[in-house]
Amino acid sequence: MSDEGTTQYGAVVEQLALGRRFLRRALGPCGTPRVAWQLDPFGHAREHAAIFAQMGYDGLFLGRVDHEDKVAREDARRLELLWRGSDSLEAPDADIFTGASPP
C-alpha cells in the first residue's frame, strides 16, 4: 500500500513500483500482486484507483471506509463497485473492481 497522503503522482507510482519489484524478486513471477488492499488510509484518492488499474491490478479492496457510507452501502448491498478512476481516460483503462471489506 502506498502512502495516500503523498501529494505527488510520481512518488505514488514510485512507491507502488518499488513494492512490486521487491515482491517479484523475493517470490518470482507468481509474487506479482493482482489485487490491491488499502488497509487503513484516511480517505481514498481516485488517482490511486486509476494507477492500480493501469498497473494491471484486477481489483482493489478498502479496509477503512466512512462508517455512514459503509452502513448505507451494506443496506443497499453495494459494497462492491466498478470504480471509474479517471474521467479523461477511456474505459476500461482506469476502471477497477473495488470492494469495501465487510466488518
> Would residue 40 show up in a list of annotated catalytic residues for this protein?
yes
**What CA dihedral angle connects 13, 35, 39 and 47, to 10 degrees?**
40
Among residues 40, 66, 75, 87, which one is catalytic? 40
Residue positions annotated with a catalytic role: 40
